[in-house]
Amino acid sequence: MPVHHTQSVLGLLLEQMKIDFKTFSSDRKHLEHALVIAKVLAQLGGISGYQLAADSAANGTTPAQRWRAAVVLAHLANINKTTLQAASMDPVAVLKTMAGEEKHEGVFFVFVDQVHKILKDRAAMIEIFAIAMDSKHHSKASPGNRSSMAEIFHAVAVRDKDKTWR
């Protein structure tokens, strides 16, 4: 398939995803679908899902909305900082807030796991995990462990701070 044809097909798919994102994000019943689309858009460098992800991280009514929001925000944090600043977007700040305030254990686990797997900025990752370690909701080690989950992720991030991302 010629390059120009492939690019036009990808452009059409991207435009359709943006339309689908608007449709799903306008209906409270379909916010999880909208967050899935926002994740793909963020992976492709699109920032249109930021507000939904930031709102869902703080106010998501289901655990799935909150952990999906964290995944979107981690992908958004990998986008060029100048682009994010120009749009007044700070996904790392939202992730830091989530690190300290998320109460649900399952959401918290997915949050730290996905931030570790997705976020390329090791310094930001270490800051997020430092806040997570101090979380009043998850600061205790689970039975049989000496360290909390956040302490383990923080130690790994600090250990790997000078390594290139994946």
pLDDT attached to residue 139: 66
Q: Where are the domains of the chain?
A: 3-159
pLDDT tens sequence across 29-73 = 899 999 999 999 999 999 999 999 999 999 999 999 999 999 999
Mean pLDDT over the full length of the chain:
88
Residue 157 reports pLDDT greater than 60? yes
CA distances from 93 to 24, 98, 99, 103, 159 (A): 25, 9, 10, 18, 23
CA atoms of 41 and 133, how far apart (whole Å) = 30
pLDDT in tens, 102-134: 999 899 889 999 999 999 999 999 999 999 988
91 has a pLDDT exceeding 90: yes
> Which of 2 and 38 is assigned the larger pLDDT?
38
Q: Rounded distance, CA 25 to CA 129, Å?
A: 29
Residue 3 predicted with pLDDT over 60: no
Task: Provide the whole-model pTM.
Answer: 0.86
pLDDT of the residue at 136:
74
Give pLDDT, residue 63: 96
- Closest CA relative to residue 49, chosen from 20, 71, 65, 72: 72
pLDDT for 166 equals 57
Q: Can you tell me the distance from the alpha carbon of 92 to that of 78, in angstroms, rounded to the nearest whole number?
A: 10
Whether the per-residue pLDDT at 90 is higher than 90: the answer is: yes
Q: What is the pLDDT of residue 164?
A: 67
